[in-house]
A = this chain, B = another copy of it.
Amino acid sequence: MATMTMIQALNSALDTMMARDSRVLTFGEDVGYFGGVFKVTEHLQEKYGAKRCFDAPINECGIAGTAIGMAVYGLRPVIEIQFADYMYPAYDQLVSEAARIRYRSANDFTVPMTVRMPYGGGIYGGQTHSQSPEALFTHVAGLKTVIPATPYDAKGLLISAIEDDDPVIFLEPKRVYNGPFDGRRDRPVIPWSKHPASEVPEGYYKIPLGKANIVREGSEMTILSYGTMVHVALAATEDSGIDAEVIDLRTLLPVDIEAIKTSVQKTGRCVILHEATRTSGYGAELAALVQEHCFYHLEAPIERVTGFDTPYPHALEWEYFPTPPRIIKAMRRAMEA
């Protein structure tokens, strides 16, 4: 066991898989010699050669499109979209092609590819380095959408994604790449090394897709979240004094409905957190599912605490980001309802 940051854990997942399977290769903008702008692919070119880890032209459509062709050939490409905000040029290839090739060819062709992209705010990245576009993927039949919250999960989930025979969108919460940010701006950020989930095996292991993780058991309400917001949820729970059950969904599509049902039916209250804009965010789907599956157990309206329906504002990102005080307000509303 080593202590790893999320970046190191992701790098270790790629390293592990590239060592095990020559079909695994990785490319993207600045991914090769430089090792990626966040260093997730560092040393892989050195270790596996330029043909297995290389730079791509700045054309996300081409990155996704060529990766689809490679996957169809029989490789297992892992591509990096430098920031999730720049996935839009690739969107057609991902939703109209990768997602549908198995279906439209009736299993004749398949696309085992993984699309990594750092997402989310909190790094003063402005409108185009802060977005959380997960709902644009969860609406698409044929894709899976995965978001880890810790180094341990990041490695295990990425290995599962690479081994999955369907295309997986793998969103990486960049705000917690180097440490578990909990939304409290006034306290020093804790390094990953102080967090138990930074204990990461060097070798191969998997965390199954589609399984949520109950990161805190509780009885008074259920908080559904993923990525960076899991840590913020824990901080809000601590600060609120409310005994919330905090669920890290880990996979958004297919979501672990059993975990959600069991928890909300137990607690009777539900707060949903995400960084993305509110309207038609993934929280809407969660709210719809919760009320469909737990209607008779609900004692209060389901609350959504989310990014606002505005572009991500550079200087006001701490007003925009759903921090513990805003979450606690929603938790209290849910408790008092």
Given known pairs A287-B284, A292-B302, the reply for A103 and B310 (CB within 8 Å) is: yes
Closest 3 CB pairs of A and B: A88-B92, A287-B288, A139-B280
A294 to B, closest residue via Cβ: B301
Chain B residues positioned under 8 Å from A139 (CB to CB) = 135-136, 276-277, 279-281
A66 CB to nearest chain B CB (Å): 17
Chain B residues positioned under 8 Å from A291 (CB to CB) = 287, 291, 301-302
Judging by beta carbons under 8 Å apart, are B292 and A301 in contact? yes
Chain A 81-114 interface mask (CB, 8 Å, partner B; 1/0): 0000100110110011001100110000000000
Partner of A283, one of B95, B138, B288: B288
Q: At the interface, yes or no: A124 with Cβ under 8 Å from chain B? A: no
How many residues of chain A have a CB within 8 Å of chain B? 46
Chain A 134-154 interface mask (CB, 8 Å, partner B; 1/0): 011011111000000000000
Q: At the interface, yes or no: A127 with Cβ under 8 Å from chain B? A: yes
Chain B residues positioned under 8 Å from A128 (CB to CB) = 96
Partner of A310, one of B141, B292, B304, B310: B141
A 26-78 contacts with B by CB, 8 A = none
Q: At the interface, yes or no: A285 with Cβ under 8 Å from chain B? A: yes
Q: Which residues of A contact B (CB under 8 A)?
A: 85, 88-89, 91-92, 95-96, 99-100, 103-104, 127-128, 135-136, 138-142, 253, 276-277, 279-285, 287-288, 291-292, 295, 298, 300-304, 308-311, 337
Given known pairs A88-B96, A310-B103, the reply for A284 and B277 (CB within 8 Å) is: no
A99 CB to nearest chain B CB (Å): 8
Partner of A95, one of B88, B135, B142: B88
- Roughly how many angstroms separate A140 CA and B100 CA in the complex, as a whole number? 24
Chain B residues positioned under 8 Å from A303 (CB to CB) = 292
Given known pairs A139-B279, A301-B291, A311-B104, the reply for A85 and B96 (CB within 8 Å) is: yes
Partner of A136, one of B99, B136, B300, B309: B136
